[in-house]
Structure 1
Amino acid sequence: MSNTSSFAVERHPTPVAASERATLLENPGFGQLFTDHMVTMRWSEDAGWHDGKVSARKPIEMDPATAVLHYAQEIFEGMKAYRIEEGGSALFRPDRNAARFRSSARRLAMPELPDELFLEAIELLVETDADWIPPGEGAALYLRPFMFASEVFLGVRPAKEYLFVVIASSVGAYFKGGAAPISLWVSHDYNRAGPGGTGAAKCGGNYAASLLPHGQALSNGCDQVCFLDAATHEYIEELGGMNLFFVMEDGSLVTPPLTDTILEGITRDSLIQLARDAGHEVREEPYAFAQWMEDAQSGRCTETFACGTAAVVTPVGTVKSEKGTFTVGDGAKAGPTTVKLHQTLERIQRGESNDAHGWVKRLGES
C-alpha cells in the first residue's frame, strides 16, 4: 500500500480482550466468529467513491425502502488471510478477487470498485485485525468484501448510491473432520443459473437459488448439491459454491469449461496450473452426468473433488440422484491426486513452499 491511504482508521474503543480472543480462537468454527473492525466506503452518482474508513464492526442501519432489499443489487467475494510460519500474514491471489468483484459489479449494473481500493481495503482490515488469524491446520481469517445498493427508493433501475463493506471472520476447517469425502445429490429438477443470467457473477441471488435444492440434498442424506446445465440437464456444472474436478485412470483431469453459468473459481484456476505443473493433462470440457456414473462404475474416473476458497479441496465419495447411486474410488478416503494437489496448494497459500507463480501477497511488502 502507498503511504497515502484512501481510508481513515478509527480503532475500536473497546476491542475484545486478548485473553478472551485466544479462547475464542481455540475453536472458531466457520462464519460465526467476527473480528473487531470493518471497512466501509460509499459511492454516489455525484461524488464517486468516497468516505472510506476502518472502524469498529457494528450493525448497518437501513431504511425499509433501501434498494437492495427490493431489487437485490448485491455482490460479494470470499478470500482468506493466512498466518505465515515465520511470522506475519499473507493473502492468496487477491488481485483475482479484485478483478472478479469488478466483473460481478458490471453484470449487476453496479459501479466498479478500482482494484487498488479493493486491495487497500482488504490489506488494511487484515493488518488491523491480524491478531484474529487463528493458529492450526485449515485455520485462516476469512474475508468477506461485499457491496449493495444503498439508495432509498422504489423503482426498477440501477441505484445511484452503494455501500462497499469488508468484514472478517476467524475460521477453522470448512468441513469438520478434515478431508473425509463428502456426498453429493445431483439435482435434475433445479438449476443454479441459466445462459445469459448471473451464474458467472458472485451475487447473493445465485446462492439463494441453490438453497432449496441444497435442502433436497440434505433430505437425501447428502452434504452438497450438484447442478447440471439448464439447457439439457445432461452436463455437470458446479456445486452450490464449489467447482468440480474429475481424475481419470490415466492421471488426466477433467473440469467443466467456464461459461456464463459457472463462477470462475480462483481455487479452480490455481489447481489447473498446479496439476499441469505436476505433469497432469487437464482438459476443460463438458462432462455428462451419465458419463460420470459410467466412468466411476467402470473405474475410469478414479477420483472426484470439489474446490473453493472456503473448503479449498474436498474429495467426493458418494453420488446420489433420482437415476441411481454410485461411489468414486473406494468412497471412503481422498485419492492420491486429490491429496497431493490439496497439500501443494495449501503449502503455497501458507508460505511453506516455493511460490513459483507469485500468487502469495505478504502484507507489508511493496
Structure 2
Amino acid sequence: MDEMGPIVPQSPCRAEIDLDAIEHNSRVLTRAARGARVMAVVKADAYGHGAVPVSLAALRGGADALGVTTIAEALQLRAAGIDSEILAWLYGVGDDVGAALSADVDLAVPSPGHLDTVLEAARRTGRRARVTPKIDTGLARSGVTLEEWPALLDRLISASEEGLVEVTGLMAHFAHADDPGNPVIDQQVARLHACVAQARERGLECPVNHHANSAATLTRPDDGFEMVRPGIALYGLNPVDGLEADLIPAMTFSAEVLMVKRIAAGQGVSYGHTWYAPHDTTVALVAAGYADGVWRLLSGGLDVQINGRRYPNVGRVCMDQFVVDLGPDPGEAVRAGDTAVLFGDGSDGGPTAAEWARSLGTIHYEVVTAVRGRAVRHHVLGTRHAPDRRKEGST
C-alpha cells in the first residue's frame, strides 16, 4: 500500500480505439466526398468509440463538421473545447433548446412542433438559431412530410426575415443506401433536391444540404449535395457488403486470460453443460461476458485470438466470463495473463465485429455500440500503422 491507498487492478477487459485509424478513415471519406463537406457522425459516444477523441481525430482527417443526435452530446463536445460546427437532430418538442443556441449548436427541425420549440427559444434567448429542416423523403421515420413542407417553408421564411433563424440547408436520411441499386434511393435524392429548389426559389439560400450516409458517401459521389454525413465508415466498418474501401476498423475488443486448466473427456462446461469435452482437453477462462458486450447469443459460436491463433468458445457465455477450448495439447501456447482478442481489425486473421454481426443476425453498428460495462476504453495513436508515434490514454 502506498500513501494514496491500495492500487486497484484495472478492468480485465478493454476496448482499444486506434485514433490513427479514425483519422485515416476520415481522409478516405473526405476524398470520396469529391469536394463536398464532410460531417463526421459521432452520436452515441462515437458509436461506442469515445466522442471527444474520435471527433478530434476525424477533424484532423479532414472532416468539416460533427453530427450527433442529442443536445447533451453536442454540449459534451463543446465542453471539451471543440468549436467546429455541430448539428444535433434528436430532441423533444417540450425540450428547452436554449442551451444549444447559447453554445452555437445547430438544430435539425424534423416537424412543425420542433420549429415551435426552436422559435420560442430564439425569442427568449435573443439568439438566432441555425436550423436544418429535416425532410422525410421516404424513410417514414422523423422528418417533415412532403405535405407539411410548403407550410413549414412559409414559416421558415417569416422566421428568417424576423432574424430568428438561419436556414443552413436541408437534410434527410436514406432508407436503402446499403443496397446501392435500390430505386428508392433515386426517389429520395430527387425529393430532397426538389425541396431545396423550392426553398431557394423563395429566397432561402440553403447553402449546405445533405442526404448521404456512409454507404452513399462511398457509392454515390454525384448526388449533387454540398455535404455528406458518414457514420459507420468513420469507424472502419464497411457499410456495403462486398464494397472495396480502404477502411481500417478502429476498435479492438479484448480481455485477459484468467486461468488455464485441464478437463477430462465428458466434462460439461459452463451453465447448463451445453458442451461436453469430447476428449481430455485444456480450456482457458476469458474475463469478459454479456455484461461487457459479449453477447450470450454467441455462446458456442465465437472465436478469440490468443498469441496469433484462434480458439473456439465452448459452453455458454456468462455475465462476466466465458471459456475457450485450447485443444488436448496446447503446450505453453496460452498462459494466464495473456490477451484474448475478441474482435479487431482482422488484418492478422483474427475475429472481427462483422463476424459477430453475421453470427448474431444483426449489423456491426450494434456490435461495437454494445461494448459496455467494465470494458475500459483506451485511445491510442500510432499503433502498427505508425509505430514511431505510439501514445496511449484511457477513458
> Which is helix-richer, 1 or 2?
2
> Which is strand-richer, 1 or 2?
1
Q: What TM-score, normalized by structure 2, do the two folds share? A: 0.21
